[in-house]
């Protein structure tokens, strides 16, 4: 689990910005990239779910190996 320690900056009494220590920012950026990769993988798996497959034995036979 990622623990963040933001410093909240206000403008005119309203929360405007959140400032993170750089190390926490890097961890957050890595976690977001990993999440996006996972979502892309899940989408690709879903796209190929009903695609016809070819067994290894059939490929070997077709290639003569």
pLDDT digit string (tens) for 5-43?
Answer: 999 999 999 999 999 999 999 999 999 999 999 999 999
The number of domains in the chain is 1
Q: For residue 2, is it within any domain? A: no
Band of residue 1 on the pLDDT scale cut at 50, 70, 90: confident
Q: Which residue range(s) make up the domain with 41? A: 7-63
25 closest CA partner among 53, 5, 47: 5
Q: For residue 27, is it within any domain? A: yes
Q: For residue 1, is it within any domain? A: no
Q: For residue 18, is it within any domain? A: yes
Tell me what the mean pLDDT of segment 39-62 comes to: 93
pLDDT of 27: 97
Sign of CA dihedral 44, 45, 51, 55: positive
Q: For residue 43, is it within any domain? A: yes
């Amino acid at each position: 689990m990622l623990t963040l320690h933001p410093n909240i900056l206000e403008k005119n009494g309203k929360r405007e910005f959140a400032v993170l220590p750089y190390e926490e920012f890097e961890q957050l950026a890595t976690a977001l990239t990993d999440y996006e990769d996972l979502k892309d993988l899940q989408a690709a798996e879903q796209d190929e779910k009903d695609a016809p497959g070819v067994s290894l034995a059939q490929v070997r036979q077709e290639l003569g190996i």
